[in-house]
Structure formats: structure tokens, C-alpha cells
């Protein structure tokens, strides 16, 4: 074992002196009057002055001859802290000889040696740490694409303003309409560029009394205003909407952006941030549901509409679970003979408190809440059972069910249809499916394939409400329809209006050319029936023959007709 040699005082002094010189932290020694006595090499490098220049000069005066007021206060603060507690630390922005400002953490402590007071200062450059912190702060508080304050900042600024303001505080929430379509057609990068242009334009508007313009992400923005009267914001919002009427140019594409705007304000709509924000958002949702491209101020009616639609959704789900939807049947008639050739199943909602409801009261709710497939299943099941009952009575019939083309994309749709035929022993020809022209147009490509599959299964297909969509007659040949149903709006005027008459005639000619049969909807008078028969329409439906009726009434119609046939034979 080697012999341990204790360190001498001299070596210790030398070691400590070298350590101080090589330390990453800068060190300086001041006298009792805060004048430099010595500094280490790191300090020299840090501030750009040699020790020889600094010695004898007061702390802080190395760049200027005399201290600025602000620096004097800082120095006094250091001095009084050292005098009272012997220690002081703080962060400082320190100017260097080269004009840079370093962010530093400094500690000062008093040391007495042989009755003399010295102040030792240690300085650590924390510029990198502060930069990182600034970066993190930026990430946490600003949108990375637009650089605008984010939702968090907007909320804190709003709550501050609500506490401080003696005026009315206006919260504006706005979205860019059709944002998803823009992303899918232009791509995310282009849309981000578009958003940057948009934000630049909003900034240029330099809106009066604006406290915060915030980007919540994507197409989602907010504005915070303060006015003596909240309604003064209307002018600013007009300017905003007008700005959107000028097109944006993006890589040779001309793009028009429309926005939907929801407004709430303190004190009218409350004094709590959360409530005000929710109300502005409700107003925004409301205007979006009504086509967008407009401004909506929050009012109680919106609340009622929202709670109505929430209640409707809850009721619709119960109705599906409890099979409250039932079909009524309207006969389809061979115009020449008046004979029933089939039925259309039309849904009715046996509502527990409101009685029997027609589709106008709930079909939009069904589509909006994505319950179309469930409704279709319920209607198709009851229809299949009805066909089986009639079959057993010797009344072979077909029933036509209405469908929204969106249902065809449901993963269970085709399985369900196939199982229907096997479970209820009905022939595919006994089931017809009709889709409206408008639901077809929205899903052009996929629907074509799905209709072809249905056709292959042996199901007859009908195009409902023909003439009400945006379709040109020529697109008809692309689809495998067996029937075209001319919308009742044409039939109602056919007797007196030459144009409607000519249109119906043209549809009949086209259908003949395409080998499709035509059913006229909404025949209400004998004259209409006669005229349609005269111009070559074979089938019809309408109140003239029968309104939609219950299954029992439809059965009675069929049995009566059967009796008539027996009597005549």
C-alpha cells in the first residue's frame, strides 16, 4: 500500500487557483465597494474585457462610463442584499463588449479574510436554457403554422379581460367552410399555405378593439374584442366577411374561402369564460348546420334547437331499439286497368307520445345520426314478413323499399339482404329498392357498383323523385334501373302546364329507349291519370288511387281485388 501524503497549504492554494481559472462558470472578486479586484479567464472570455481593464472599476461599469438608472437600481439591490444576508442570486441580462446580451444566473456571496470583506461572484451563461424554454413556451402557446396564439392563450387572455374590463367583451369563433373538402382536393401542405395567406389577410385588416386573434388549429379561429357596446363588432365582422369575397390565388388555383362565425358576449351571455365560449361555439355550430357562410349571434333559440335535436337523436335510437318504425303501404297501379301491381313501403314512426309521425318529421334526423341502415333493416324485415304472409294467402306481390344510397356502404348491407330471402322464403324479384336521384348523385362511383350487385342478386331497382336532382337525362343509361319514378311536382302541373307535359313526355320517350318502365308519382286527379295514360305512362301511384295505408288495409285491398277477379272469371 502506498504512503498517503497530505496536501500542503501551498499546493491546495495552487490547485484551487487553477480550478477557478478553468471552471466553466465565470468568477469575479469584488471589494467591499463592489469594485473588481480579480476575474477568472472564463469571465474575461464571457464579457470580452481583460482583468487588467476591469480591476478597480465598479461592477457594471465596463461598457459605459457611468451607470444608467436601471443598472444603479440593480447594483443597489445587490449591495443591500449582500449587506443584510451575505448572499444574493438572480438572473440578469448582461451586456458584453461585443454588444451581445447574455442571459446569466449570478450568485454573490460575502467572504471575510483577515477582517476584510470580499464579494465573490459566480456567473453561469443560461442563454441556451432560456432559448430552449422560449422554444417550449412557443410550442405550448402558439400555433406552429400561423404563429398565432393558441386556444390556451386565448382562454387566459379572455379570462383576464373578463376580470378587468369595464366594457363589453365579445368572443368570436369562426371556421372555414368546407375545410375537409379543401384538404382532400388541395392536400394538407397547400391548405396550410392557404391558411397562412388567410391569416395574413385577417391581420392586415387591423381590426379595431381586437385583443387577441387566435388559431385553435386547422380551420378553427377565435377573436377577442372589447367594446363599449358589443354590437360595434358587427362592423369588424362585416369587414372580415367581405375580405373572404376576394379570391385567394394558390399555384394557379383561384380559391374562395367562406367562413361561418359564431358570436357571444359579456355581459349579455354570462360572465364566465366557459359559458361564453360554449355559447359562441353553439352559435357557430348553428350557422354551420344552416349552410354556413354567415354570422350568427348566440340566442336562446339556438339552445332549444340543439336540445331538440339531441332529444330527437335519443328518441330515434330508442325507436330503433324498440321497433317503433312501421311501414305503411301505398299501392302501385297499372293505369290502364286500375289493378294493383305492387306496393311501396313508406315508413311511419309510432311515437310513444306524439302519435303516428310522417317521414318529414324524422327522416333527416335518421340520416344525420347515421341510422339509415338500421331503419332500412327494420322496414325490410317487416316488408319481407308481410310478403310471406300475403304469399301464404295466395296474394303474390312485390314491395318497394326506400333506401338512402349511403346504406349500401354499410359492411352488413349485402349480408342482410341475402339473409332476408332465405329466412322469409321470398323471391328477390318481390323486393324492389328505390333510391332518390339526389342521394345517388352524392356517391356517384361506388353506388354504381353497389347497384350492380343488387341487380345481380335479382332485386329490381327504381330511381325515385326523378327530375328533382341535378341530373341530366343522359346519365340514366349508366345505371341499371328497372323503373323511373317521375316526381309528383311534374305530375301536379301536367294537365295545365305545357312545359311539364313536354318534360314528362320526354322522360317517357327516354325510358322507352332505355328499356325502363315509368311510374308517375302523386296522381291526385282523374284528369292526371287519363293524360298520363294517353301519353304512354304505364304505372302510377297517388292519392287518387289510395293513400299509404296500414298492412291490414293493404291486405283488405288485395283480397277485395282478388274477389273481383274471381267474379269476373
Using CB under 5 A as the criterion, which residues of the chain lie in contact with Mg ion when the complex forms?
402, 434, 464-465, 521
CA–CA dist 406, 447 (Å, integer): 8
Cβ closer to ligand C2E: 144 or 489? 489
Cβ closer to ligand C2E: 34 or 405? 405
Tell me: does residue 382 bind ligand C2E (CB under 6 A). Answer: no
* Segment contacting ligand C2E by CB under 6 A, of 45-53, 82-90, 303-311, 397-405: 397-405
* Segment contacting ligand C2E by CB under 6 A, of 244-252, 372-380, 385-393, 493-501: 372-380
Shortest distance, position 155 Cβ to ligand C2E, whole Å? 43
519 binds, among Mg ion, ligand C2E, none (CB under 5 to 8 A by kind): none
Tell me: does residue 330 bind ligand C2E (CB under 6 A). Answer: yes
> In the structure grid, which three cell numbers stand for residue 319, read together?
325507436
Cβ closer to Mg ion: 59 or 345? 345
Tell me: does residue 58 bind ligand C2E (CB under 6 A). Answer: no
Strand partners of residue 433: 401, 461
Question: Which of 175, 402, 430, 500: binder of ligand C2E (CB under 6 A)?
Answer: 402
Phi–psi pair at 101, nearest 5 degrees: -115, 125
Catalytic, 412? Answer no
Shortest distance, position 508 Cβ to ligand C2E, whole Å? 19
Tell me: does residue 347 bind ligand C2E (CB under 6 A). Answer: yes
522 binds, among Mg ion, ligand C2E, none (CB under 5 to 8 A by kind): ligand C2E
Cβ closer to ligand C2E: 224 or 346? 346
The residue behind cell 399555384 is: 251
Phi–psi pair at 238, nearest 5 degrees: -60, -45
Scored b (16 or more CB within 10 A) or e, 245-258 reads eeebeeeeeebebe
382 binds, among Mg ion, ligand C2E, none (CB under 5 to 8 A by kind): none
538 binds, among Mg ion, ligand C2E, none (CB under 5 to 8 A by kind): none
CA–CA dist 173, 283 (Å, integer): 9
CA–CA dist 257, 255 (Å, integer): 6
Are the C-beta atoms of residues 469 and 437 closer than 8 Å to each other?
A: yes
Instruction: Name which of residues 247 to 266 contact ligand C2E (CB under 6 A).
Output: none
Question: Which of 111, 543, 556, 560: binder of ligand C2E (CB under 6 A)?
Answer: 543
- State whether residue 403 is helix, strand or coil: strand
Sheet hosting strand 26-30, strand order edge to edge = 36-39, 26-30, 116-125, 101-113, 87-95
CA–CA dist 438, 450 (Å, integer): 16
Tell me: does residue 359 bind ligand C2E (CB under 6 A). Answer: yes
Instruction: Name which of residues 434 to 473 contact ligand C2E (CB under 6 A).
Output: 436, 464-465
Are the C-beta atoms of residues 509 and 473 closer than 8 Å to each other?
A: no
Cβ closer to ligand C2E: 146 or 436? 436
Closest by Cα among 555, 560, 535, 532 to 544? 532
> In Å, what is the CA distance from 289 to each residue of 241, 294, 296?
18, 11, 11
Shortest distance, position 505 Cβ to ligand C2E, whole Å? 20
- The DSSP line for 293-326 is SSEEE--HHHHHHHHHHHHHHHHHHHHHHTT-EE
The residue behind cell 457594471 is: 60
Q: Which of 521, 526, 552, 561 is catalytic?
A: 521
Instruction: Name which of residues 483 to 522 contact ligand C2E (CB under 6 A).
Output: 488, 521-522
Strands 36-39, 340-351: parallel, antiparallel or unpaired by DSSP?
unpaired
User: Active-site residue numbers?
Assistant: 521
Residues in contact with ligand C2E by the rule CB under 6 A: 330, 346-347, 358-360, 363, 372, 375, 379, 402-404, 436, 464-465, 488, 521-524, 541-543, 548
Amino acid at each position: 500500500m502506498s504512503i498517503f501524503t497530505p496536501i500542503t497549504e501551498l499546493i491546495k492554494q495552487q490547485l484551487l487557483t487553477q480550478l477557478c481559472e478553468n471552471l466553466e462558470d465565470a468568477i469575479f472578486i469584488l471589494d467591499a465597494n463592489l469594485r473588481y479586484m480579480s476575474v477568472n479567464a472564463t469571465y474575461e472570455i464571457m464579457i470580452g474585457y481583460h482583468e487588467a481593464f476591469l480591476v478597480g472599476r465598479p461592477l457594471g461599469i465596463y461598457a459605459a462610463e457611468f451607470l444608467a438608472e436601471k443598472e444603479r437600481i440593480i447594483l443597489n439591490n445587490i449591495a443591500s442584499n449582500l449587506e443584510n444576508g451575505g448572499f444574493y442570486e438572480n438572473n440578469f441580462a448582461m451586456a458584453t463588449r461585443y454588444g451581445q446580451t447574455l442571459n446569466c444566473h449570478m450568485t454573490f456571496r460575502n467572504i471575510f479574510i483577515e477582517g476584510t470583506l470580499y464579494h465573490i461572484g459566480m456567473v453561469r451563461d443560461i442563454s441556451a436554457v432560456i432559448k430552449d424554454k422560449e422554444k417550449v413556451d412557443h410550442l405550448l402557446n402558439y400555433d406552429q403554422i400561423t404563429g398565432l396564439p393558441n386556444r390556451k392563450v386565448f382562454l387566459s387572455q379572455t379570462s383576464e379581460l373578463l376580470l378587468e374590463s369595464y366594457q363589453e367583451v365579445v368572443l368570436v369563433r369562426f371556421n372555414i367552410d368546407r375545410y375537409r373538402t379543401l384538404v382532400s382536393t388541395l392536400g394538407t401542405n397547400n391548405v396550410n399555405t392557404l391558411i397562412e395567406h388567410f391569416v395574413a389577410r385577417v391581420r392586415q385588416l387591423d381590426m379595431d378593439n381586437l385583443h387577441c386573434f387566435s388559431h385553435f388549429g386547422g380551420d378553427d379561429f377565435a377573436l377577442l374584442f372589447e367594446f363599449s357596446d358589443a354590437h360595434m363588432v358587427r362592423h369588424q365582422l362585416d369587414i372580415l366577411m367581405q375580405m373572404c369575397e376576394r379570391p385567394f390565388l394558390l399555384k394557379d388555383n383561384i380559391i374562395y374561402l367562406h367562413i361561418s362565425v359564431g358570436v357571444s358576449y359579456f355581459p349579455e351571455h354570462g360572465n364566465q369564460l366557459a359559458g361564453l365560449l360554449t355559447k359562441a361555439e353553439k352559435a357557430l355550430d348553428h350557422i354551420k348546420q344552416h349552410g354556413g357562410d354567415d354570422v350568427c349571434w348566440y340566442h336562446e333559440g339556438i339552445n332549444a334547437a340543439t336540445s331538440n335535436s339531441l332529444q330527437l337523436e335519443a328518441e330515434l335510437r330508442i325507436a330503433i331499439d324498440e321497433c317503433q318504425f312501421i311501414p305503411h303501404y301505398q299501392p302501385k297501379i297499372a293505369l290502364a286497368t286500375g289493378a294493383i301491381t305492387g306496393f311501396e313501403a313508406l315508413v311511419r314512426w309510432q311515437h310513444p307520445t306524439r302519435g303516428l309521425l310522417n317521414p318529414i318529421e324524422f327522416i333527416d334526423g335518421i340520416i344525420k345520426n347515421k341510422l339509415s341502415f338500421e331503419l332500412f333493416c327494420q322496414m325490410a324485415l317487416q316488408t319481407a314478413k308481410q310478403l310471406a304472409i300475403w304469399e301464404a294467402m295466395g296474394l303474390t306481390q312485390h314491395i318497394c323499399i326506400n333506401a338512402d344510397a349511403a346504406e349500401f356502404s354499410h359492411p352488413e348491407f349485402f349480408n342482410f339482404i341475402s339473409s332476408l330471402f332465405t329466412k322469409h322464403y321470398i323471391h328477390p324479384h318481390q323486393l324492389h329498392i328505390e333510391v332518390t336521384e339526389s342521394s345517388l348523385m352524392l356517391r356517384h362511383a361506388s353506388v354504381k357498383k353497389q347497384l350492380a350487385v343488387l341487380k345481380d342478386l335479382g332485386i329490381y331497382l327504381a330511381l325515385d323523385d326523378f327530375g328533382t336532382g341535378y341530373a341530366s337525362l343522359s346519365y340514366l343509361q349508366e345505371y341499371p334501373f328497372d323503373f323511373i319514378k317521375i316526381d309528383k311536382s311534374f305530375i301536379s302541373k301536367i294537365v295545365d302546364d305545357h312545359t311539364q307535359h313536354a318534360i314528362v313526355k320526354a322522360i317517357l320517350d327516354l325510358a322507352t329507349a332505355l328499356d325502363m318502365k315509368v311510374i308517375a308519382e302523386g296522381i291526385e286527379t282523374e284528369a292526371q291519370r287519363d293524360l298520363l295514360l294517353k301519353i304512354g305512362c304505364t304505372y302510377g301511384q297517388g292519392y287518387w288511387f289510395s293513400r299509404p295505408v296500414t298492412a291490414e288495409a293493404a291486405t283488405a285491398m288485395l283480397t277485395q281485388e282478388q274477389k273481383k277477379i274471381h267474379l269476373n272469371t
